[in-house]
A and B are shown apart, each in its own frame.
Chain A
Amino acid sequence: MFKNIVFIILTISFLKTSSAQTVSPSLKEESDIYEKIYDAPLILDKNQPTPLHELYNTKPLLVVLIFTRCTGVCNPFLLRLKESLQFKAKKDSFNVLVISFDPRDSIKDMNLLARRFALEDNNQWIFAVTDSISKLNQSISFYPIWDSIRNQYDHDALLVGVNNEGYITKKLIGMRGGHDLDLLIASVNNVFSPTYRLPNKKVLFSCFNYDPKTGKNKLGLGLLFIALPAILTVLILIVIGFSVRSKASELEESS
């Protein structure tokens, strides 16, 4: 009972702090996009290892990296993800693969974790460990750092979208809102998702200026450049029209 209360308090406190800290998009999310994820042999149960491609070939994957002894972001991250995905319209179009990046974790530990989140009977959620975690981590640029003082890993809350050909289509770092998850799910299903260029001081004549804070596009100076040729043409037409007519009338008057 005491353990559960501590777990809930920790979860709520982490939800608040981490959501405040990790909302801003990071350039780290842009690495490895359209690269293939490492085809690691996964241990899902006591049987033979299952290669990762067998999972993503069946359905696109949202890959979550955690470890069971985590006292930090892992549990709130999983909880938030579980809650967010419950209400997604197209939740049958993908599976969630939770992999431990801690070599100390066994499939038994992962199954216990699944039970704690009441996901052990949920076919959409797959819990696994692998003996090739370093290669897998490298393929998705995920680099947890061991902190020997706290006896914990310092790591990102990383969610990786993998389509059914094994390509990384999108990455999300931190606990993100429903819209970002929608984009991630769309990307693993090869559905087009619009993206906007962030403001750049080198681009002086943008047609539109995207504001990442509000998510709105404002009209830019570039639009004027599109109209400029037509405006100049009208001016040239009027100037030539009047100058040749006035010259002609001057000639008429003088003659």
Chain B
Amino acid sequence: MASIKLNKITSVWIISVLLLFIVSIVLGILMRLNQGEMISQSPITFYSNMTTHGLTMIGIWFVAGMAAVNYIMERYVKTSYTVNVLALVLTVIGILMFWASTFIGHFHSAWTFLYPLPFKEMGSETWATLMFLGSLTVLGIGWLIWSISLMTQILKKYSIPQALAWQHLRKNPTVETPPFILISMITLIGVIACLLAAVVLLVLFYAEYFSNGNFVNDALLMKNLTYFFGHTIANEMLYLGLAVIYELFSEVSGRPKWKTTWYVALAWNCTLVFILTAFFHHLYMDFVQPQGFQIIGQLASYFASLPAAGVTVFSIFIAVYRTKIKWSLTNLLFFIGVIGWVIGGLAAVIDSTISNNIVLHNTLWVPAHFHTYNAMGNVLFSLGFFYWFSIQFSDKTKIKKSTTLTLALLLIGGIGFLLAFYIGGAESIPRRYSIYPSELSIGASLATIGAAFASIYFIAILIFFFNISKRCLKILFSSS
């Protein structure tokens, strides 16, 4: 049973995430409007906004997943409230430092901050690079401590093989590992690995920054480390959401609790291994990278996504097919989110196939796929949790007409917004252009359409924000 303190801090996480999400959506819409030539931003403003939008989104949906996992984990093991607060404080400080580097210092080398871009001032303030690297350090420390703390709590109750559900690969396991614990453990290991990659990356950045030109980094090493961190964390945060779904979907649907089977255990263990090498698919264009790594990148992209997606879709399908279940906004958001995750995942697998990547590399197909499994996948996982959390202390669980309208807005806005990206990708419109040259005028038209649909999505999010935050504020200021 969650303590009052945990309820309160989870409320703070939810309100903070939704607030930052609103700001980030506004930045995204402004970027699309600029690409559509409806407004005019300077290139520095555009790329600063792109950097803020990207890293803020990654950050908030990662912490949203972590906060949800932390909250539900209390059902199985005792978690540390102090570490939870520390993570919140460091996240707030980190975000403020990061926003200072972009909004005031005009740092604009995208959230992937590919080496050597952070060292090229190109119109940003001299201090902005150090502030940006500092913000990543603060965020990374907070998240690493949080992840290690949660993993430690799991290991206090379950041994390593039990936490990874290896006993389920044999017949008649004596100890049962709940799917939530298995997926959380798998994900936390991946999160720790990618955050350690960020540590190595930051140390190398600092070493060059303070060496006065006596030490220079290897661009290939920095790119590998950047995507080890970036690609992996972007995927792991999805798995945090899936851990929550495995725990809550059956519960809110009034169905028996899902159990770990041999294929669930096998699929998630495969995901643990393969997700750590799938990032190689970001380096297909780097001819110096050995061909073996490129092949590993393609195969790992398949093997990391297909087993986890397969068992999750199978479990959800079995749960809803010809079964009378209690639909609520929570399981509807989970259900739609899984569809979004699968569609985005398929688009990602298409792009990670070397023969396709030659055509799709750095086109709008890339933002198309990651916005699909984030905006229509992971965001819905977390919104489902936020909604479930906020109504726990009230009786309003039925779907109202206004809820149906909100969902319709979310779907129409989301699908239209994503289609503009997909069509752009299929038309080979490059990504990360602040404005399109006349030869790519279709990119500008699609950007305007994308901005219009994103605004509809934004209205739905505002309604969610208003409703969920109102309830979370009550929890925050209640005495019991």
Contacts and interface: CB of A to CB of B under 8 A. Distances in A.
A202 B208 CA distance: 10
Interface string B20-39: 00000000000000000000
Contacts of B356: none
B288 A248 contact: no
B178 to A, nearest CB: 18
Contacts of B197: 229
Q: What is the interface residue range for chain B against chain A?
A: 20 to 34
Interface in B275-289: 276, 287-289
Contacts of A248: 156
A236 B224 CA distance: 22
A205 B222 CA distance: 10
B122 interface: no
A205 B221 contact: yes
Contacts of B160: 237-238, 241
A58 B194 CA distance: 52
Contacts of A226: 221, 224-225, 228
Given A233-B189, A236-B192, A241-B155, A225 B221 contact: yes
A241 B225 CA distance: 26
Contacts of A204: 215
A207 B159 contact: no
A240 B160 CA distance: 10
A196 B288 contact: yes
Interface in A204-245: 204-208, 217, 220, 222, 225-226, 228-230, 232-233, 236-238, 240-241, 244-245
Contacts of A149: none
A207 B218 contact: yes
Interface in B203-221: 204, 213-218, 220-221
A238 B202 CA distance: 25
Interface in A171-216: 194, 196, 200, 202-208
A196 B160 CA distance: 44
Nearest to B156: A244
Nearest to A226: B224
Contacts of A208: 220, 288
Contacts of B225: 225-226, 229
A217 B228 CA distance: 23
Given A196-B288, A225-B225, A244-B152, A203 B193 contact: no
A204 B200 CA distance: 14
A205 B218 contact: yes
B155 A240 contact: yes
A245 B159 contact: yes
**Residue of A196, A229, A237 with highest tally of chain B CB at under 10 A:** A229
B240 interface: no
Contacts of B204: 205, 225
Contacts of B159: 241, 245
B201 to A, nearest CB: 9
Nearest to B215: A202
Contacts of B276: 230
B182 to A, nearest CB: 15
A120 to B, nearest CB: 42
Contacts of B199: 229
A13 to B, nearest CB: 40
B218 A237 contact: no
B306 interface: no
A240 B155 CA distance: 8
A207 B288 contact: yes
B148 interface: yes
Contact of B196 (A194, A205, A232): A232
A172 B197 CA distance: 41
Interface string B140-176: 0000000010011001100110000000000000000
A222 B332 CA distance: 47
Contact of A222 (B192, B214, B220): B220
Nearest to B285: A192
A228 B215 contact: no
Nearest to A217: B288
A229 B155 contact: no
Per CB-CB distance, the 5 closest pairs between chain A and chain B, nearest first, are A222-B221, A229-B196, A229-B197, A233-B193, A202-B216
29 contacts: A196-B288, A202-B215, A203-B217, A203-B218, A204-B215, A205-B204, A205-B221, A206-B218, A206-B220, A206-B221, A207-B218, A207-B220, A208-B220, A225-B200, A226-B228, A229-B196, A229-B197, A229-B200, A229-B228, A233-B193, A236-B192, A237-B151, A237-B160, A240-B148, A240-B151, A240-B155, A241-B159, A241-B160, A244-B155
Given A229-B199, A240-B152, 11 more contacts: A207-B224, A207-B288, A222-B221, A225-B200, A226-B224, A228-B196, A229-B200, A230-B193, A230-B276, A237-B151, A240-B155
